[in-house]
Amino acid sequence: MNDLRSGGNAPPDPPSRPLKNRTAQVSLADLALVFLKLGTIAFGGPAAHIAMMEQEFVRRRRWLTESEFLDRLGVANLIPGPSSTELAIFIGYTKRGWKGLLVAGCCFIVPAAILVAGIAAIYVRFGALPQVAGILYGIKPAVIAIILQALWSLGRTAVKNWWLAAIGTIAIVLNGAGMSPLAVLAFAGIAASAALWIKPRGESALAGVSFQGRWGLSLGSAAVVAAVPVTLLRLFLSFLKIGSVIFGSGYVLLAFLRTEFIQHLHWLTEKQLIDAVAVGQFTPGPVFTTATFIGYVVAGIPGAVVATVGIFVPGFLLVAVSGPLLPKLRRSAVAVKVLDGVVVGSLALMAVVAWQLGRASIVDWVTLAILVVSAGLLLRFRINSAWIICGAAVVGWLARG
């Protein structure tokens, strides 16, 4: 698919931001700064991270077109690991090759890992999590607004005909009825590829976004009676294994962690695991920094470092291997149609998550007002999402203070 801006639905490019921006050389310093910022303010989980990256790199900086963004998003979500982190790594690789891959990925991960390690230190010392209810109260509806803005923008690019619109609608129904995200994506990809027979001369595009998966893989044997001794090597290998096979984050990550660290190794209690996942959810940056928390709890600072490296290394390697394959996928008619369906199915998953989060987050007129104002600022004035998050956090803190 050609540049999105050539379509009739998108607004014309502002004169001050010519298209050459997306092909201009990006310095490693600029790449580091923007991903450090995102790693510091990207609250809300993978769906919100993807929305913020779309705003930052497609709308604001014009480093990528919508179609290029969706290309990388699609591949990132068809490989194991944290999808939003892999998208960051893909963007770095696209702009500056191997150096960009390392800089973008590390700068997106490190701020969250440092914050989570600090919270883990407080947790180990006092046995409880810091109180952040007021801040989260304000941030959650703002995050939903960011997701809705991304859905609107990406949907205009991805849903190119009635067939894909129908696939997206069915995907929403299937996921809402309880079908796992991976099954929904498989359905969407297969259904879209049928267009090769129904309409041989279909349009082509690469895209996709999925931020959760439920692949019922067992990570360990049956629980043993005695706990396995804690070693840094075993900690590293456990997280390396999880990072190599898991699709998605959040509650599916909880299942993998429970099997490994409670049932198999007996290194954590149920309460510690739930607290670890909670910290990964309410801190900015990758949800997989839950590993940092667990590593600190079981082995201090060395454990936090080893666990963080172990769970994220597979993502770097998989992006490095799959990145050069993008041009070949573009030339494959079958791959193009499958990924056309994957993107629509993935946006459907994103919509279902936004609905579910909204029901839990919009609890009174204050949160409703935050949602409406945030959405208006994003859609009408294209305010940077960092300011939206900060403003919502202040409002929430004042309202609950």
Per DSSP, the three-state class of 248 is strand
- Structural domain contains residue 231: yes
Measured in residues, the chain has a length of 401
pLDDT confidence band for 84 (50 / 70 / 90): confident
Residue 81, phi then psi, degrees to nearest 5:
115, 175
CB count in 10 Å sphere of residue 218: 11
Q: Report how far residue 339's alpha carbon sits from residue 334's, in angstroms, rounded to the nearest whole number.
A: 9
What is the biggest distance separating any 2 CA atoms in the chain, rounded to whole angstroms? 68
In the block, residue with structure tokens 């191997």: 98
Predicted local confidence at residue 369, as pLDDT: 94
- Structural domain contains residue 339: no
Query: 281: exposed, middle or buried (C-beta count within 10 Å: 0-12, 13-18, 19+)?
Result: middle
35: which residues sit within 8 A by CB, 6+ positions away?
88, 92, 103, 104, 105, 107, 108
Which of the two residues, 264 and 22, has the higher pLDDT score?
Answer: 264
pLDDT tens by residue, 168-192: 899 899 988 888 766 787 898 899 8
Q: What is the DSSP string of 192-236?
A: HHTHHHHSTT----------B-------S-SPPSSPPPP-HHHHH
Residue range of the domain that includes 77: 1-10+20-160+215-330+362-401
- Structural domain contains residue 219: yes
Count of domains for the chain: 1
Under 8 Å between Cβ of 93 and 319 = yes
- Structural domain contains residue 178: no
Look up residue 262 and give its two tokens: 């409670």
Predicted local confidence at residue 218, as pLDDT: 35
- Structural domain contains residue 245: yes
- Structural domain contains residue 325: yes
Q: What is the mean pLDDT of the chain?
A: 78
235: which residues sit within 8 A by CB, 6+ positions away?
295, 298, 299, 303, 306, 307, 310
The beta strands (E) that lie in 112-203 are given as: none
- Structural domain contains residue 196: no
- Whether the pLDDT of residue 202 is over 70: the answer is no
Under 8 Å between Cβ of 16 and 62 = no
Predicted local confidence at residue 182, as pLDDT: 66
- Whether the pLDDT of residue 383 is over 70: the answer is yes
Q: What is the DSSP string of 258-312?
A: IIIIIIIS--S-HHHHHHHHHHHHHSSS-GGGHHHHHHHHHHHHHHHHHHHHHHH
In sign, the C-alpha dihedral spanning 328, 329, 330, 333 is positive
Mean pLDDT of 146-169: 84
Q: Which of 157-166, 211-220, 351-360, 388-397 has the lowest mean pLDDT?
A: 211-220
- Structural domain contains residue 179: no
In the block, residue with structure tokens 């993008």: 326
Predicted local confidence at residue 311, as pLDDT: 93
CB count in 10 Å sphere of residue 5: 14
